[in-house]
Amino acid sequence: MPAKLDINYVEFSSSDIGASQAFFKAAFGWSFTDYGPSYQAIDNAGLDGGIAQADGDAVSPLVILYADDLDAAEAAVTAAGGEITKPQFDFPGGRRFHFREPGGNQLAVWSAAKAG
């Protein structure tokens, strides 16, 4: 039986991060942590999330799962018929990869950086 992965993070893309941030703050009372001009973490929203600068038009939100073992999660995704769309990469705090499940939905899996 594969390891159970929980939804851990939702990432929105935005063609205008400032406008998105202002909207979410005014409409929902969310707050933000600034990680530079191309990324804002969402705080106080019930589930961790962020807003990433879109390269063009904004796309559907990206649901991100958490795995203790990123390599095992990637193997499980591909064995189940998922297509890796963005190979593993580092980001502040960990690593992640993106994939498309057979029905067409794009998701990602991340794992915390190992101490050491």
> Residue 115, SS3?
coil
| Per-residue model confidence as pLDDT tens digits over 54-113 | 988 888 899 999 999 999 999 999 999 999 999 999 998 899 999 999 888 899 999 997
Structural domain boundaries in the chain: 6-112
- What is the structure's pLDDT at 92? 86
- Give the pLDDT confidence of 13-37 residue by residue, as tens digits: 999 999 999 999 998 999 999 998 8
Q: What is the DSSP string of 40-95?
A: EEEESSSS-EEEEE-SSS--PPEEEEE-S-HHHHHHHHHHTT-EEEEEEEEETTEE
Whole-structure pTM over 0.85, yes or no?
no
Which top CATH class is 6-112? alpha beta
Does residue 88 contact residue 98 with C-beta atoms inside 8 Å? no
Match 């935005």 to its residue by tokens: 14
